Amino acid sequence: MMTTRRRWRIGGMDCGSCVGKIETAMVRLDPVQSVTVSMAAETMTLELHDDSGPVLDDITDKIRALGFQATVMVDGQATMPPSDDEASSRRLPWPESLDEILYAALCLAVGGIVAFVLPDYAALVMGIAALLAALPVMKVAVNLARAGSVFSIELLMVVAVIGAVAIGESLEAGMVVLLFAIGESLEGIAAGRARSGVKSLMKLAPETARRVTATGFEDISPAQLRIDDIVEIRPGERIPADGVLVRGAADIDNSHLTGESVPVACETGSDVFAGAIVTDRPVQMRVLRASGQTMLDRVIALVEQSEQHKAPVERFVARFAKIYTPIIMALAALTILVPPILFGQDWNDWIYRGLALLLIGCPCALVISTPAAVTSALARATRIGLLIKGGATLEAIGAVRVMAFDKTGTLTEGRPALVGVLVLDGGDEDALLARTAALETVTSHPLATAIVAAARDRNLTLPDIADARTLAGAGVEGRLDGVMYQAGSALRLGITPDDSLAQWLRLQEDSGATAIVVLRDGVPVGGLALRDQARPDAAEALAHLRALGIAPVMLTGDAQRVAARLAGDLGMEYRAGLLPEDKLNALIALRDDPATPGMVAMVGDGINDAPALKAADVGIAMGGGTDIALEAADAVAVRARLSDVVGLVRLSRRTRAIIRQNIGLAIGLKAVFLVTSITGVTGLWLAVMADTGATVLVTLNSLRLLIGLRR
């Protein structure tokens, strides 16, 4: 059966139980094949075998009947709101958010005035006022029960309010409703704050793009851009797609993806990303990834998918909450019935205590304890350039005790750099480097690029060359001032080095460098050594990981001598000469080793790392890596900095600690007030305040994750 995917914008969700209510209601509908609700992104995605207008309207109405706002989205955008007449027919019969508080307060105020005027009917009037104030909650409870969520928090409230009115505690019943409305509003505000960092990402894409055409410029939607289109971006504008600069240079603010507060200098050939801001000069770029495939789109997609990968503790709490509420209701019933029936106690007194127990037993704080922390952590992660694919990954990272690293492009810069110059003819290093760089401008080989870059870093002027050409498999040659120069492999150029040059070449080889010789009219005049350098933050990052109890190990396909040198410099174990399959097997061996005390993570960036990234307990990709590595990984360090991997571990462990604190707060407060409610020390008012207070405390504690981590 063919299905179509439709999305809704959902407002009013403030905890995991809200998500559960919507999912429970949707899976009971015949047209719905699957449902995914994201509290962080405030969206619902349904797979439907019928997406006709009446079906979509019916789904929207059912969600609104549960107490949430719902709007169908078309092409990623919410549709226009209904007309006034249509809206009035669908509008909930009570105000939302703050208006709910005002509605409850108004009912109680009017009831209080009438009771003051008619004191003989005060109890009846306040009872009616309390029930009227509770009407919105009653309607939601009924709709939730019809949708399959029978044991809801709203049902507990309704039972408690009706019971309190029945035993003559009308004023307390009304105050319970008012306090409940205040608590719901506070939860909504706190939840909105927690996901604000995530939602702000969705507003970064510009509304228009300025495409360069043969006749000038054309303003179009970024969704209309295609690969290889040329786009102009002016100062103050956001980049509409991922691409590469082809004209101009400018400082570009990438803080939305990298967290860097200072704009980065970019020139022709630099990669740029959708959502970044051009700060000072106009530039033109060629589109490499169009709408739907950009790094920003990936971030948003990961956020929306993250709640499908719930942390294990979150899944446990959700299952526990489903049986917890019926248990609390049964316990409250026993509290009401057993003392009067078996021991002849006062009915009103024990009904009151049972109702208080019912209210304090609301599981909202417990249910929100984990998702509030996870949502806050994911929001923080996106701000500091970390993408995490869900709560399960976030929790797993903190349990890692062995972390395997690819070498090239992960522990190292991934490109060669000049590390040594040998001069044999009595000249100086700069002169030899300038001549060699002039020769190497005729090729785009990585070694040649590194030599030219080294000369530019020293501000050297390159001499003019003539008859320059590449020597297949050997190097390059050309004439400088009428003299023939060659640069390349000593073996391939067919020379026999003298003792001093041979010794230098062996030394470079032993150190893991690649050496080339420079010839003048066939006679060696010097040599250059190039080597892929460790990232500037590699040693410090690995030291921090060891301090956190994580053992680093390098898995590389490079030669033994190259791996040994880098591993020695960084102080880590290594496995060398590994093919992709060997690297995967080495990772599996680490993961399955009984001596390994915890989970094993893999950090890499290349196509050959993808199998190991997938097989690890946690795969972490460096942001500059290949697409397949980014897809295979569970988390991405967007800035491609090893220090961010350390930050990822710290964020995970901090999140795990706050989740434990939240659960302790929720259960601890409930345990105390359950006892005081049964013993009659606390009543209905304090029961509601304790429940609301626990929920707000848990949420505020989770918001601490939005504060910066120590680097």
The set of catalytic residues is: 406
Give, rounded to a whole angstrom, the gap between the first and last alpha carbons of the chain.
52
| Lateral strand order in the sheet of 32-38 | 32-38, 43-48, 4-11, 69-74, 77-78
Q: How many CA atoms, within 13 angstroms, populate the side-chain half-sphere of residue 642?
A: 28
47, β-bridge pairs: 5, 34
Angstrom distance (rounded) from CA 276 to CA 253? 5
Q: Name the strand (E) or helix (H) holding 212.
A: strand 209-213
Q: Name the strand (E) or helix (H) holding 169.
A: none
Angstrom distance (rounded) from CA 205 to CA 524? 56
Please give the structure tokens belonging to residue 161: 């309010």
Chain length of the chain: 711
Assign 244 to helix, strand or coil.
strand
Residue given tokens 């009219």 in the structure block: 521
**Shortest CA distance to 390 belongs to which of 36, 26, 11, 35?**
36
Residue given tokens 């719905």 in the structure block: 32
Please give the structure tokens belonging to residue 641: 């900095």
**CA pseudo-torsion sign 374, 379, 384, 385:** positive
Kindly report the backbone phi and psi dihedral angles of residue 378, in degrees, each rounded to the nearest multiple of 5, phi listed first. -65, -40
**Shortest CA distance to 387 belongs to which of 297, 263, 290, 287?**
297
Angstrom distance (rounded) from CA 393 to CA 381? 13
DSSP conformational letter for 82 = P
Angstrom distance (rounded) from CA 326 to CA 645? 43
DSSP assignment of 100-121, as one string? HHHHHHHHHHHHHHHHHH-GGG
Phi-psi region of 500 (alpha: psi -120 to 50; beta: other; left: phi over 0): alpha
CB-count burial class (<10 Å; 0-12, 13-18, 19+) for 225: buried
Angstrom distance (rounded) from CA 126 to CA 162? 12
Angstrom distance (rounded) from CA 495 to CA 492? 8
DSSP assignment of 630-654, as one string? HHH-SEEETT--HHHHHHHHHHHHH
Angstrom distance (rounded) from CA 382 to CA 385? 5
DSSP conformational letter for 709 = P
Asked if residues 465 and 494 have their Cβ atoms less than 8 Å apart, the reply is no
| DSSP H helices in 345-493 | 347-360, 364-383, 391-397, 429-440, 446-457, 490-493
Asked if residues 76 and 6 have their Cβ atoms less than 8 Å apart, the reply is no
Angstrom distance (rounded) from CA 378 to CA 395? 11
